[in-house]
C-alpha cells in the first residue's frame, strides 16, 4: 500500500519504518528540515534499539523516504497517518495545534479519496475535529474518512511492540473503512479490535491511565509496607499471581515518568472534568506519583545529618531503561534536590548523559557505574538498566567512602546486599525490626 506518515517522532518514525519493512511504500513527512536531512543521512532523532538498521535498510531498498513536502506525501498515498506530538498545556489539556495544522495541510493537498488515520494520542473528539478541519478547508471536492488507530508501543521496545502488539485498535466510521486498515495490519496476525472512533480514542487514554493506576497503587502499598514492616516485593508477587490482577506494572519504586503516563493521565483527568465527570481516582494516581522522589529523598536525608559536601553516585538518569529519554525522569527531581542541599552528584547512564548535561552541566558524568561510585557516600539506583543488576559489588564496596545503597527500583536483594556489607534501603521494605 502507499502510505504517508506525518511526524517523525517516536510514533511516526517507528510506524513508518515498520510499515516499510512489511513491504509498503512509505513517505515520512515532517516540518523539521534538520530532522529530515539527518534521517536521509541515516542519523536517527531518537535512540531506539533496531530502528536505525531498519530505517537505513528500507530507505536503501526504496520503500521508505523522508521529506518536508506534505503535498507529495498526501498525493502519493492512499492512507495518511498523523503521528505528530500532542504536548500538554499548563492546565493538563492536550495541545492539538500540531494535529490541527497537519489536518489543514491535508485539506490543502487532498485530491482524491484518502483515509486519514490519527495515531497521535489525542482526546476523544479529535477525530471529529480533524474531519471538520479537512471538510471545511479542502480545496477539491473529494471524499475522505477519518480513523482512530492508537499506538501502544513502548520506548525501548518500540519495534517489537509495533510488530507484535497485544492488540490493534481500529476506530472507524464504517465497516468498509475498517476493512482497509485490517488489510494493512493482517500480515502481523495479531488480535484486532474494531470500534467506533470515540471509543478507540478513549481506549488509548484508559489503557495508559490504568497502567499508571497500577503503578501508583503498588507505590501506595509500598509506603504501607514500610510503615507496617512488610516487604512490598513479596506483596506484589502475591498479588500479581492472581490472573485477574497480573504481575506486570506492579514494580514499586520511584514511580512513572516519560512522555506518556504523566501527560496522558493529566489529559484524561482534564477530559473527564470537561464533560462533567469525576476525576478523583486519576487525581490520586497523579498525586501519589508526584511524591515518589521525595520518598527516596526522605530516606537519604534521614541517613545524613546534612547533605552539604556529601557525594552521591547516581546510577541511571533516563526515565526508564533502554532509552535516552529524560522527559519527566525522576533523576532530574532528585538531582535538583541534592544540589539544593549542596550535595555532589557523580552520575552514570548508558544513554541519557548528554541530555542531562544540558540541564545540569556541573555535576560529574562518569564512564561507568564503578567510576560513579568512587569516593561516594551513598549510591542511588534510579533507573534499572540491566548492566546495573549484576555489578561487581566487592569492587563497588572498595570504591565507596561509605557503603550505603538506596535502591529506587528494588533491583537488589536486601539479604545479598546486607551480606556483602552494605547498608541497604529499598522502596517499601520494612527494616525487620
Ligand atoms: C507507555 C505505555 O506502556 C505504552 O503502551 C504506550 O504506547 C506509551 O506509554 C505511549 O502512550 O506512547 P512508555 O512511556 O514508553 O510506554 O514506558 P513504560 O514502559 O510503560 O513505562 C512508563 C513508566 O512507568 C516508566 O517511568 C517506568 O519506570 C514506570 N513503571 C513501569 C513503574 O514504575 N513500575 C512498573 O511496574 C512499570
* 292 CB within 6 A, ligand 1: no
Q: Which residue lies with its CA nearest to atom 34 of ligand 1?
A: 251
Tell me how far the alpha carbon of residue 330 lies from the centroid of ligand 1, in angstroms.
Answer: 13
For residues 393 and 250, membership in a common domain is answered with: no
Cα–Cα distance, 345 to 349 (Å, whole number): 13
Cα–Cα distance, 170 to 219 (Å, whole number): 33
Q: Which residue lies with its CA nearest to atom 30 of ligand 1?
A: 256
* Domain presence at residue 34: yes
Which of ligand 1's atoms lies nearest the C-alpha of 155?
A: 15
Please, which residues have CB within 8 angstroms of residue 25's CB and are 6 or more apart in sequence?
1, 2, 3, 63
Cα–Cα distance, 168 to 122 (Å, whole number): 17
Q: Which of 152, 175, 195 finishes a domain? A: 195
Counting Cβ atoms within 10 Å, is residue 243 exposed (0-12), middle (13-18) or buried (19+)?
Answer: exposed
Q: How many domains does the chain have?
A: 3
The pLDDT of residue 279 is 98
The pLDDT of residue 11 is 94
* 320 CB within 6 A, ligand 1: yes
* Domain presence at residue 236: yes
CATH code, domain with 279:
1.10.1040.10
Strand segments (E) across 304-395: 311-315, 344-348, 364-365, 378-381
User: What stretches of 229-291 show up as alpha helix (H) in DSSP?
Assistant: 232-240, 261-274, 280-290
* Domain presence at residue 432: no
* Domain presence at residue 242: yes
Q: Which three cell numbers stand for residue 154?
A: 513502548
* Domain presence at residue 348: yes
Q: Which of 161, 195, 229 finishes a domain? A: 195
Counting Cβ atoms within 10 Å, is residue 342 exposed (0-12), middle (13-18) or buried (19+)?
Answer: exposed
For residues 16 and 118, membership in a common domain is answered with: yes
* 155 CB within 6 A, ligand 1: yes
The pLDDT of residue 68 is 98
CATH code, domain with 386:
3.40.50.720
Q: Which three cell numbers stand for residue 39?
A: 534521517
Chain-centre distance of CA 356, in angstroms? Answer: 17
For residues 299 and 341, membership in a common domain is answered with: yes
Single out the residue of 194, 205, 406 nearest to residue 304, CA to CA.
406
pLDDT exceeds cutoff 90 at 430: no
Which of ligand 1's atoms lies nearest the C-alpha of 11?
A: 12
Please, which residues have CB within 8 angstroms of residue 218's CB and are 6 or more apart in sequence?
232, 236, 239, 250, 251, 252
The pLDDT of residue 432 is 61
Query: For the segment 367-420, what is each residue's pLDDT rounded down to a tens digit?
Result: 999 999 999 999 999 999 999 999 999 999 999 999 999 999 999 999 999 999
CA atoms within 13 A on the CB side of 384: 13
* pTM > 0.85: yes
Mutation test of ligand 1: which of 211, 235, 295 has the most ligand atoms closer than 8 Å to its C-beta?
211
Q: Which residue lies with its CA nearest to atom 23 of ligand 1?
A: 256
For residues 413 and 370, membership in a common domain is answered with: yes
User: How many beta carbons lie within 10 A of that of residue 224, not counting itself?
Assistant: 14
* 152 CB within 6 A, ligand 1: yes
Q: Which three cell numbers stand for residue 192?
A: 484486532
Q: Which of 167, 195, 223 finishes a domain? A: 195
Single out the residue of 254, 291, 258 nearest to residue 406, CA to CA.
254
How close are the terminal C-alpha atoms of the chain, in Å? 65
Identify whether the C-beta of residue 63 lies closer than 8 Å to the C-beta of residue 26. yes
DSSP 3-state of 309: coil
For residues 113 and 187, membership in a common domain is answered with: yes
Question: Which residue segment(s) compose the domain that 329 sits in?
Answer: 292-425
235-264: average pLDDT = 97
For residues 282 and 323, membership in a common domain is answered with: no
Which of ligand 1's atoms lies nearest the C-alpha of 10?
A: 12
Chain-centre distance of CA 374, in angstroms? Answer: 32
* 261 CB within 6 A, ligand 1: yes
Q: Which residue lies with its CA nearest to atom 12 of ligand 1?
A: 260
* Domain presence at residue 145: yes
324-338: average pLDDT = 97
* 159 CB within 6 A, ligand 1: no
pLDDT exceeds cutoff 80 at 431: no
For residues 260 and 375, membership in a common domain is answered with: no
The residue to which cell 534536590 is assigned: 337
For residues 182 and 239, membership in a common domain is answered with: no
CA distances in angstroms from 143 to 26, 355, 421, listed in the order given: 22, 45, 71
* 331 CB within 6 A, ligand 1: no
Tell me how far the alpha carbon of residue 374 lies from the centroid of ligand 1, in angstroms.
Answer: 32
CA atoms within 13 A on the CB side of 332: 20
Query: For the segment 267-300, what is each residue's pLDDT rounded down to a tens digit?
Result: 999 999 999 999 999 999 999 999 999 999 999 9
The pLDDT of residue 245 is 98
Single out the residue of 253, 248, 245, 342 nearest to residue 295, CA to CA.
253
For residues 185 and 324, membership in a common domain is answered with: no
Single out the residue of 136, 101, 134 nearest to residue 115, CA to CA.
134
Which of ligand 1's atoms lies nearest the C-alpha of 215?
A: 34
Positions annotated as catalytic residues are 260
Q: Which residue lies with its CA nearest to atom 6 of ligand 1?
A: 152
Cα–Cα distance, 216 to 169 (Å, whole number): 26
* Domain presence at residue 158: yes
Binning pLDDT at 50, 70 and 90, where does residue 433 land? low
* Domain presence at residue 430: no
For residues 269 and 301, membership in a common domain is answered with: no
For residues 48 and 158, membership in a common domain is answered with: yes
Query: For the segment 188-243, what is each residue's pLDDT rounded down to a tens digit?
Result: 999 999 999 999 999 999 999 999 999 999 999 999 999 999 999 999 999 999 99
For residues 183 and 220, membership in a common domain is answered with: no
* 251 CB within 6 A, ligand 1: yes
Single out the residue of 193, 187, 189, 152 nearest to residue 171, CA to CA.
193
Amino acid at each position: 500500500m502507499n502510505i504517508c506518515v506525518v511526524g517523525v517522532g517516536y510514533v511516526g518514525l517507528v510506524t513508518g519504518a515498520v510499515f516499510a519493512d512489511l513491504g509498503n511504500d512509505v513517505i515520512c513527512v515532517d516540518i523539521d528540515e534538520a530532522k529530515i536531512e539527518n534521517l536521509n543521512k541515516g542519523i536517527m532523532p531518537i535512540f531506539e534499539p533496531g530502528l536505525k538498521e531498519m530505517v537505513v535498510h528500507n530507505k536503501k531498498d526504496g520503500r521508505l523516504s523522508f521529506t518536508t513536502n506534505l503535498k507529495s506525501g498526501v498525493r502519493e498515498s492512499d492512507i495518511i497517518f498523523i503521528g505528530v506530538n500532542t504536548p500538554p498545556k499548563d492546565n493538563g489539556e492536550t495541545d492539538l495545534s500540531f494535529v490541527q495544522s497537519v489536518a489543514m495541510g491535508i485539506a490543502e493537498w487532498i485530491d482524491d479519496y484518502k483515509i486519514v488515520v490519527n495515531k497521535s494520542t489525542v482526546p476523544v473528539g479529535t477525530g471529529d475535529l480533524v474531519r471538520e478541519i479537512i471538510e471545511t478547508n479542502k480545496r477539491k471536492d473529494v471524499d475522505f474518512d477519518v480513523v482512530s488507530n492508537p499506538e501502544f508501543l513502548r520506548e525501548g521496545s518500540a519495534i517489537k511492540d509495533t510488530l507484535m502488539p497485544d492488540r490493534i485498535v481500529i476506530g472507524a466510521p464504517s465497516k468498509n473503512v475498517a476493512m482497509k486498515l485490517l488489510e494493512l495490519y493482517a500480515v502481523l496476525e495479531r488480535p484486532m479490535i474494531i470500534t467506533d472512533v470515540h471509543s478507540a480514542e478513549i481506549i488509548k487514554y484508559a489503557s495508559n491511565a490504568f497502567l499508571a493506576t497500577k503503578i501508583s497503587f503498588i507505590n501506595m502499598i509500598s509506603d504501607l509496607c514500610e510503615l507496617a514492616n512488610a516487604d512490598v516485593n513479596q506483596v506484589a508477587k502475591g498479588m500479581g499471581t492472581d490472573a485477574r490482577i497480573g504481575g506486570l506494572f506492579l514494580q514499586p519504586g520511584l514511580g512513572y515518568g516519560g512522555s506518556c503516563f504523566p501527560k496522558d493521565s493529566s489529559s484524561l483527568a482534564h477530559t473527564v472534568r470537561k464533560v462533567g465527570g469525576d476525576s478523583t481516582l486519576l487525581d490520586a494516581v497523579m498525586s501519589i506519583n508526584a511524591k515518589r522522589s521525595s520518598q527516596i529523598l526522605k530516606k537519604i536525608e534521614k541517613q545524613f545529618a546534612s547533605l552539604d559536601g556529601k557525594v552521591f553516585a547516581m546510577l541511571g538518569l533516563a526515565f526508564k531503561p533502554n532509552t535516552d529519554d529524560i522527559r519527566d525522569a525522576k533523576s532530574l527531581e532528585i538531582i535538583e534536590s541534592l544540589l539544593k542541599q549542596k550535595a555532589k552528584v557523580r552520575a552514570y547512564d548508558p544513554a541519557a548523559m548528554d541530555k542531562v548535561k544540558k540541564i545540569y552541566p556541573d555535576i560529574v558524568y562518569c564512564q561507568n557505574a564503578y567510576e560513579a561510585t568512587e569516593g561516594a557516600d551513598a549510591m542511588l539506583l534510579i533507573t534499572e538498566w540491566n548492566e546495573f543488576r549484576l555489578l561487581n559489588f566487592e569492587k563497588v564496596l572498595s570504591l565507596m567512602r561509605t557503603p550505603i545503597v538506596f535502591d529506587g527500583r528494588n533491583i537488589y536483594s536486601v539479604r545479598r546486599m546486607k551480606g556483602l556489607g552494605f547498608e541497604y534501603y529499598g522502596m517499601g521494605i520494612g527494616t525487620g525490626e
